[in-house]
Amino acid sequence: LMALPLGIFLDEEMIGAPTVNQAITGGNSVITGLESEEARVLAIQLNAGALPAPLRVISIEEIP
């Protein structure tokens, strides 16, 4: 996923698509490159949580 956008969805609505700049390990990552207000709004949206919904895998790729 390096150098590719990673869509962030909340309740089936894309709220962001930052570019992956480093490996995502342990299920954690850091989003950089946002203006202060953009970061504040994204944090509010993510902390508000999503409505219960099933997870649907669209694709899986293995990169050697």
pLDDT tens for residues 7-26?
A: 888 888 898 888 888 888 88
> 18 with 5: CB under 8 angstroms?
yes
pLDDT tens for residues 22-64?
A: 888 887 777 777 788 888 888 888 888 766 767 688 888 877 7
Rounded to whole angstroms, what are the CA distances from 30 to 24, 54, 60, 61? 9, 25, 22, 22
Please state the pTM of the whole predicted model. Answer: 0.55
Round to whole Å and give the CA distance between 46 and 10. 8
Domain residue ranges of the chain, discontinuous segments joined by +: 8-48
